[in-house]
Structure 1
Amino acid sequence: MTPELPPAVDVLVVGGGPAGLSAATWLGRYRRSTLVVDAGQQRNLPADRAHGLLGRDPTTPHELLAEARAGLEQYPEVVLHHGTVSSVRKDEAGRFCAVVDGVEVSALRVVLATGVRDRLPELDGIQDHYGTDVHHCPACDGPTAQDQVVIVLGSGDQVPAYAAELLDWADTVRIVTDTADPCFGEDQRAALADHGAEVVDGVAEALVGEPGALVGVQLAGGELVEGDKVFFSYAHHPTHELALELGCELDHEGGIVVNGFQLTSVEGVYAAGDITAGLQLVPIALGKGTAAGVACATSLRGHPTHGASPAPPTRRFRSG
């Protein structure tokens, strides 16, 4: 059963993925009363495996989250709530008022770890195959395509470079593209050919084969493009609605701008994980979450806090 929502906390963490749970862990270690609100929409949940975690390679996204949530139980100051934050505003006194599942919660600090949402290909069978033999991240899942035939789907001028990255592992890379896509002029096709990547003109319509035993991609005209795995690169959409409401500065891709301590342009608001610029990998998200949690916790030192958090010190250091 989800604990009752506290009316006031030191820190509100929005997002219960790797970045948010990492921030909450360190806030708990610093004994800061913390509410983590998790909508359960982590982008890697469909994946069979999460890779590249030191000492935990591989694991599953569900195992990783379960262990992180269990670890929070040692910190009584941290409350994990499964729900959504619909609004956050900053009042004249510098406190944050959030609406969590219709209930108002006050916080002294906010950590945004809301992540991004990927645009999936419009393919028959995508929900069954996604995370097993259809992937979006070459760095995460490229090694699983070693010596295999990979089909790349996507749109935009990033696709040729994206496809070339997969040649670090794949035996063959085939890009399926609409002939109307301006990103695949003669120069781009020649460059891809130099890298050993093939370009197939057509519109992908359906995945052929069972999950884990992919045969290929069927085009709108009925042609089968054979392949063992599919990688796609379309668009991903930052979940930055709360950041916009708070007035946080965003970069040209819609990510939240932060400094070296994960502090945004709004005093008291921190951000971590894929919602910020840089590599979008679980180990990176964990590190950013740690930085945000520590910086956020130490920013409260000497200030009145809530619950069981350390009170402002009444003693002063003396020298001599």
Structure 2
Amino acid sequence: MTVNKKNFDVVIIGGGPGGLSAALVLGRARKHVAVIDEGRPRNAVTHAGHGFLTRDGISPSEFRRIAKEEISVYPSVSFVDDTAESITGSDGHFQITTSQGIQLESKKVLFAVGMKDRPLPIPGLAEVYGRSAFVCPYCDGWELRDEPLVIINSGPELIHFAPVISGWSDRITFCTNGPDGLTDSERETLQRRVPLYDSPIRHIHSDDGIVREVVLEDGTSIPCRGIFFKPDLVMGSDLPHAIGCQLSEEGHVKVDAFGKTSVPGIFSAGDMTSRMHQKIIAAANGSAAAAALNNELNTEAWLKNG
């Protein structure tokens, strides 16, 4: 979709829960906003999203459809179905160019591009991801309650994850898919409570997306009906780094409580700013960032006109 207007108060890059929530708040604040989104969300692999009050169990596509329908009531918000390719400029005068050559100017920018999965070299995982293999028990643990589960993870995070996942099922097996990265003490603690295998995974067998067993290279077969695994994630765009935003050691954009980055005029919200990758948290981040953006814009206009 091409927009007629080229100058905006805020350009939001990313149209997930964080970006859409920000667009709603800014639209109601009478700010001119463009939301640039390529339409390929990370959660598109799932059939239903959970944990979002009043929208529990809704599909990601339906969630976005309803959000856009509600936002369309506010005429100052435009949607651009495209990918942001470059960003230049400084606070008050940013220029954003999309892959289709659309050029937008904006006083402020909000990054809400989320994270993206790198493919994991585990044969059979792609066939079950989003159907019976997930990354977050708070999002999908209820559907797999009391089922035999395989947890694919390694290192000290296993010690944290073991008691957490036990709230949904006590029939769990841990697979580290290679060297486990645990200390002798940590390994002993886990093995007293749950089976722990460090042999690489040969294949995940499934029927129509429902996992049946995990087979290891040493020949071990682990029957199960669900998997939780640690994904390999990267930011959904290199633009925050390109414009100079400081990143954490984990690869997240550093922000304050209201989404301000280290670059004046640039804000960020959603999964790219936090380890808590849940829709409702991303939406809350987007709302907070939008309020801060609106306050900043209003204050600057007030002082300029005074």
CA shift for structure 1 position 303: 5.0
Higher helix share: 2
Pairing 1:135–2:134 present: yes
Give the total of aligned pairs: 305
The alpha-carbon distance between structure 1 residues 201 and 76, as it changes in their structure 2 partners (threshold 3 A), is: same
Partner residue of 2:85?
86
Pairing 1:295–2:253 present: no
Q: For the residues of structure 2 that align with 1:201 and 1:249, how far apart are their CA atoms?
A: 36
Worse-superposed segment, 201-210 or 13-22: 201-210
The alpha-carbon distance between structure 1 residues 205 and 69, as it changes in their structure 2 partners (threshold 3 A), is: farther
Q: Structure 1, residues 205-227: CA drift from partner, whole Å, max 9, x if none?
A: 22212135321112234432111
Q: For the residues of structure 2 that align with 1:98 and 1:169, how far apart are their CA atoms?
A: 45
Check conservation: 2:155, 2:182, Cα contact below 8 A: no
Q: For the residues of structure 2 that align with 1:13 and 1:228, how far apart are their CA atoms?
A: 40
Q: For the residues of structure 2 that align with 1:184 and 1:148, how far apart are their CA atoms?
A: 26
Amino acid at match of 1:217: V
Partner residue of 1:25?
24
Partner residue of 1:190?
188
Partner residue of 2:95?
97
- Structure 1 unmatched ranges of 5 or more: 305-310
Taking structure 2 as the reference length, what is the TM-score of the superposition?
0.91
Check conservation: 1:89, 1:246, Cα contact below 8 A: yes
The alpha-carbon distance between structure 1 residues 252 and 123, as it changes in their structure 2 partners (threshold 3 A), is: closer
Check conservation: 1:122, 1:205, Cα contact below 8 A: no
Q: Structure 1, residues 77-135: CA drift from partner, whole Å, max 9, x if none?
A: 111111111111124x7410111222221100100001112334323333331111011
Check conservation: 1:115, 1:275, Cα contact below 8 A: yes
CA shift for structure 1 position 152: 1.2
Partner residue of 2:212?
215
CA shift for structure 1 position 239: 3.2
1:269 aligned to which of 260, 266, 269: 266
Amino acid at match of 1:220: E
Q: For the residues of structure 2 that align with 1:211 and 1:286, how far apart are their CA atoms?
A: 32
- Please state whether the residue corresponding to 2:45 is helix, strand or coil: coil
Pairing 1:233–2:234 present: no
CA shift for structure 1 position 60: 1.7
Check conservation: 1:19, 1:113, Cα contact below 8 A: yes
Partner residue of 2:277?
280
- Structure 2 unmatched ranges of 5 or more: none
Q: Once superposed, what is the RMSD of the aligned Cα atoms? A: 2.3
Amino acid at match of 1:190: E
The alpha-carbon distance between structure 1 residues 234 and 191, as it changes in their structure 2 partners (threshold 3 A), is: farther
Q: Structure 1, residues 180-223: CA drift from partner, whole Å, max 9, x if none?
A: x15244322221134x3211232112221213532111223443
- Please state whether the residue corresponding to 1:280 is helix, strand or coil: coil
- Please state whether the residue corresponding to 2:74 is helix, strand or coil: coil
CA shift for structure 1 position 10: 1.1
* Correspondence list, 1:111-190, <5 A: 111-178=110-177, 181-190=179-188
Taking structure 1 as the reference length, what is the TM-score of the superposition?
0.88
Partner residue of 1:307?
none
The alpha-carbon distance between structure 1 residues 211 and 166, as it changes in their structure 2 partners (threshold 3 A), is: farther
Greater radius of gyration (CA): 1
Q: Which runs of 4+ in 1 moved over 6 A?
A: 311-314
Provide the identity percentage.
29
Q: For the residues of structure 2 that align with 1:43 and 1:29, how far apart are their CA atoms?
A: 28
- Please state whether the residue corresponding to 2:42 is helix, strand or coil: coil
Amino acid at match of 1:251: S
Worse-superposed segment, 28-37 or 261-270: 261-270
Amino acid at match of 2:95: C
Q: For the residues of structure 2 that align with 1:201 and 1:104, how far apart are their CA atoms?
A: 51
Partner residue of 1:76?
75
Partner residue of 1:12?
11
